Structure 1
């Protein structure tokens, strides 16, 4: 363990203008009896949401609802954003000191938070997987919203991080028949590793019991609607920011009595809510990352100090990128 971080200058990643990041430094307060000091090991850049934040495309109506825990600044700019950080507790209550924990905190090398804001990471889960916990929460909540169960025929449209996590969780249901749909044939290998089949959009059939859409594109939503069978549920996980999205509600939408459902991680799915507070759901999401197959979702690693220079192009010009890991010395 390195010496306690009190008295050090913390560095944080800020979005300061469309397409531009910078690192900012400030002093770190000493912890009290109810807080911890965390030295970051890894944090995950969420390509979908953080691309919209970097572009300044958070709708004004969502400025407050979209605030991340411990966010500094306000939308659109300048703002310190992010919500998937893993680190070592350097100073805090005895039971936590020295433990690796997950925290819904923006990208920062060392930070102080209430002890209640951290989730211990079980032994054997490396930072590169533990940092995906918020994505896993989203996927888990989506399966709850859908009511997916054993034997269901499930189609997942969009092979990003969340789509692939939904695919893996759905394929784990006994007897479930799961197909990942994506425009990139290279996603077939990952789908197979998670126990699912793969199809291009032109190869789908209108026979799914449940369809999850995660591509954040109008074309993907059209594919998702086309994949649903009679009275199927279409579960929309995508967030489009300020972009207007066409929804194809003509054709067979009404005759097949499709149900379009929004799923968003900010609230626990209604049927689980009475017994699943956010902390319990997050702890379960972290534990699900014990599966080593999720390691393949991390496709790029960037040193924190290089983030301002490298992240903008990775978020906008690398269509095959999945999870981007920021690494901290």
Structure 2
């Protein structure tokens, strides 16, 4: 038996390599993968070679090499079962269904400290979405909308529509989804958006102002498009805030900050799931955030977000699909049989 591992081998080039199944060491376990989820945003940058270096990680996801070069295995949404344990590991881990922040591979050797047990109530096919829900929970925490506020979310890909679903129950006056694709706008409405509008490229922020006759208190930018940040600022009212969850990689961001941004005391804050904002750390731990993410993954209607299930041997087709037909793609799962 051999392991099958997905490698990025060049710009827009993916290869599945067969390798020896790793043997457990005394303090590790071996996970046999059932599904792994592809992150269209983050892995899209890796696929295109748009990764800034050096790139470090302070969270559970292993950092890419400081001198990012191909070939590289990358991913962080693997679900499977523990099939072997090291001599120093409790046998209770055997046959546990787990989530791992690990690259796409049929067999993953990790420390149990890097695993998250999958609740019995969460189906294995749904479990790879845990990483995206955890990101969405972090964005919702960082946005921190108050009752009655108006919030806009730029981008209704998987993460964006999950943020919409989380904030839909927050007693907001308006929850506006900004998304160019009509199918995604409809999905945002089904998740609880009060308005879903296409962006206006000729006048940043106008789409929101026309939808609700007002600027918003907070924008969450998760489109992955650097141009959306200008629109988010233009749509934000005096003393409002813009939470940036997009990772733009090496794509340049050109912002006109000499106008109303400067006069209107608008805050721009980055949000990244690797850490919890300092203002929450006295009350929020990673374990607490994970528990909230699992609970929301159970309750949100996420089944329709999974649009493609592709055998791992055809991983190149999965990435081509994401690159060439993004309008038709939601969450892509690699399937291991």
Fold agreement, TM-score > 0.5: yes
Who is 1:35 aligned against? 28
Who is 2:321 aligned against? 314
Task: Confirm or deny: 8 A CA contact 1:68 1:81 kept in the other structure.
Answer: no
Which segment is superposed worse, 181-190 or 32-41? 32-41
Who is 2:203 aligned against? none
2:124 is equivalent to residue 127 of structure 1: yes
Task: Confirm or deny: 8 A CA contact 1:10 1:109 kept in the other structure.
Answer: yes
Who is 1:274 aligned against? 282
Aligned ranges 1:1-329 → 2 under 5 Å: 8-32=1-25, 34-62=27-55, 64-65=56-57, 69=61, 75-92=68-85, 93-175=90-172, 177-197=174-194, 198-202=196-200, 203-205=207-209, 206-308=214-316, 310-320=317-327, 321-329=329-337
**For 1:205-250, what per-residue CA distance to the aligned partner results, in whole angstroms no more than 9, with x for missing partners?**
2421111011122331122112211211111111111111111324
Task: Confirm or deny: 8 A CA contact 1:162 1:214 kept in the other structure.
Answer: yes
Partner-residue secondary structure (3-state), 2:189: helix
Partner-residue secondary structure (3-state), 1:79: coil
Which segment is superposed worse, 210-219 or 22-31? 22-31
Q: Give the distance between the partners of 2:294 and 2:269, measured in 1 at CA.
A: 26
**For 1:169-211, what per-residue CA distance to the aligned partner results, in whole angstroms no more than 9, with x for missing partners?**
1112134531111111222221122111212224312421111
Q: Give the distance between the partners of 2:17 and 2:8, measured in 1 at CA.
A: 10
Shift of 1:70: 5.1
Which segment is superposed worse, 286-295 or 10-19? 286-295
TM-score under structure 2 normalisation? Answer: 0.88
Partner-residue secondary structure (3-state), 1:229: strand
Shift of 1:135: 1.4
TM-score under structure 1 normalisation? Answer: 0.90
**For 1:46-90, what per-residue CA distance to the aligned partner results, in whole angstroms no more than 9, with x for missing partners?**
01111110111111232x349974578762311000011111122
Q: Give the distance between the partners of 1:30 and 1:279, measured in 2 at CA.
A: 29
Cα distance 1:280–1:37, how it changes in 2: closer, same or farther (>3 A)? farther
Q: Give the distance between the partners of 1:143 and 1:110, measured in 2 at CA.
A: 33
User: Pairwise CA RMSD of aligned residues?
Assistant: 2.2
Task: Confirm or deny: 8 A CA contact 1:31 1:91 kept in the other structure.
Answer: yes
Q: Give the distance between the partners of 2:59 and 2:292, measured in 1 at CA.
A: 23
Which segment is superposed worse, 231-240 or 273-282? 273-282
Cα distance 1:68–1:81, how it changes in 2: closer, same or farther (>3 A)? farther
Q: Give the distance between the partners of 2:306 and 2:58, measured in 1 at CA.
A: 25
Which segment is superposed worse, 108-117 or 90-99? 90-99
Q: Give the distance between the partners of 2:231 and 2:80, measured in 1 at CA.
A: 40
